[in-house]
């Protein structure tokens, strides 16, 4: 799984994420395409709870995300897009990194619908 990217489309905007090669990212990729609702959380991230939980096989106990990280928070079963700084979180598994469009996330107020698909 090298150079695999997904496209998140919302409000006539696009965010491109390059996925990491790990079991959780591969499990996420198998669920695509998806349409989900994201909402703001703690003025640092946009989150969306998935209908089906992702595997945590071989995952670290947690991670310290930075701006642009795309991750899965296993305790809640949600994916998250970080646009602000955040400290270490137990159960947080990095799925990939936003390579284009992270600046578009901060200005969105309220809930918004996102279509996530493979970026061929």
pLDDT at residue 95, as a whole number: 98
Whether 1 shows a pLDDT value over 70: the answer reads no
Whether 23 shows a pLDDT value over 90: the answer reads yes
How does pLDDT run across 88-100, given as a tens digit for each residue?
Answer: 999 999 999 999 9
Q: What is the mean pLDDT of the chain?
A: 95
Closest CA to 31 of 39, 42, 19, 40: 19
Domains of the chain are 5-118 (2.40.100.20)
Alpha carbon distances (Å) from 110 to 74, 85, 93, 104: 23, 20, 25, 14
Whether 12 shows a pLDDT value over 80: the answer reads yes
Helix (H) or strand (E) holding 111: none
Whether 3 shows a pLDDT value over 90: the answer reads no
What pTM, to 2 d.p., does this model score? 0.95
- Cα torsion 74, 112, 64, 76 to 10°: value is -20
């Amino acid at each position: 799984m090298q150079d695999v990217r997904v496209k998140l489309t919302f409000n006539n905007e696009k965010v491109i994420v390059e996925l990491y090669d790990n079991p959780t990212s591969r499990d996420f990729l198998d669920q695509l395409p998806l349409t989900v609702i994201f909402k703001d959380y703690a003025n640092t991230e946009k989150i969306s709870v998935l209908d089906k939980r992702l595997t945590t096989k071989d995952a670290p106990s947690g991670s310290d995300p930075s701006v642009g990280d795309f991750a899965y928070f296993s305790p809640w079963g949600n994916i998250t897009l970080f646009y602000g700084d955040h400290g270490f979180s137990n159960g947080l598994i990095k799925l990939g990194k936003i390579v284009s469009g992270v600046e578009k996330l901060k200005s969105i107020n309220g809930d918004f619908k996102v279509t996530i698909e493979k970026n061929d």
